[in-house]
Amino acid sequence: MPRTILEPRFHVEYLSILDSDGNLDAALEPKLSPGELRSLHRAMVLARRFDERMVRLQRQGRIGTFAPIKGQEASQLGSVITLRATDWMVPSFRETAAMIWRGWPIEKILLFFAGYVEGGRPAPDQRDLPITIPVGTQLPHAVGLAYAAQYRGDDAVVMAYFGDGATSEGDFHEALNFAGVWHVPVVFVCQNNQWAISVPLKKQTHSKTIAQKALAYGLPGIQVDGNDVLAVYTAAREAVERARAGEGPTLIECVTYRLGVHTTADDPTKYRTQEEVTAWEQKDPLTRFRAYLEKKDLLEDGLEQRVDEEIAEAVRRFEATPPPDPLLVFDHVYAEMPPHLRAQREELARWLREGGAPAPEPPEAPQGATPMRGQRLTRR
């Protein structure tokens, strides 16, 4: 029998509207009002200045390790602005810009990166999941949210963020498979910043694009210039509208670049060249969008100063926040606290009431003795 073609040859589109040289495809230019463009630019500037301030705070020991977003502002903000407040946003660990747009107070984000779980807790009426550190594990959760919305007849859309490194995890493939099978309203936004910590994209996959991975699971995939906020917005708006209309999920690959460190515990000079970084700096999403707005006479005077003042005030509020109750560590783990945790909580509460004095050392056991159950054997 002759060979039969089951599917025509797949194709993957690439979308760019405003390139790094300032060339604009007016036919594809989205219809954003002057107010919307100014709000978008302000959000991008705020995200960049806050990111730079966080690096200084971390180097000063005032917050802990975090993942900077410098260079990825367009990928996050161009997509997240297409969501309604009633939609869901599911972040990984590098979505500071998207979180601020969704209403997370700056001081709360700082509280999280200072090590307090309260900083990662969304407001009661906020349809966002907390920051997710394990790579890719949030993606099946996002599909579950979308399935629940579909089941309830809610018109909410779920937008899930992740990096190129997450596409090497099984969670990514499981999530896309279930999203395709269930035809749920979820938009997967991959910020392909070229590096999974120190592993370049070419060592992660032999596929020409990440977007094409969607085709195996029966959903559309598109690659966009992730430093072009207009292109990201256009692709995300189409994907969100398609999901809300019951037409299923989409994978958007935003081709961007991490201009800074992977986290503040990383040294990228060990694995990438300055020439590569310099080349990508010429494609900076803020520089490109600023030039676009300048031609439209939409730039705001004194914007950077106002943004810096807003950040400084948030830092003051963060550092004035009283330490949280240590007993909260036992909350939100089980629906009903098991006896062993209840006992530990009561013991910690008693210890705190008594001033938090250190527990006395048990008596030293004789040489060669075997400790009784619950007794600690100490040697000096």
The pTM assigned to this predicted structure is 0.89
* d(C-alpha 146, C-alpha 138), whole Å: 12
**CA nearest neighbour of 15 among 227, 223, 288, 286:** 223
Kind and range of the H or E element at 108? helix 106-113
Domain boundaries, the chain: 13-319, 325-380
Question: How confident is the model over 314-365, as pLDDT tens digits?
Answer: 999 999 999 888 898 898 889 999 999 999 999 999 999 998 756 556 555 5
- Which is it for strands 195-196 and 199-200: parallel, antiparallel or unpaired? antiparallel
Inter-residue contact 166 to 172 (CB < 8 Å): yes
**pLDDT higher for 44 or 118?**
44
Instruction: Please report the pLDDT score of residue 110 as a whole number.
Output: 97
pLDDT in tens, 112-150: 999 988 899 999 999 999 999 999 999 999 999 999 999
Active-site residue set:
258, 262, 271
Please give the backbone phi and psi of residue 200, each rounded to the nearest 5 degrees, phi first: -70, 160
- What is the number of residues in the chain? 380
13-319: CATH topology: Rossmann fold (3.40.50)
User: Radius of gyration of the chain from Cα atoms?
Assistant: 24
List 188's β-bridge partners, or say none.
160, 251
- The reported pLDDT for the residue numbered 213 is 97
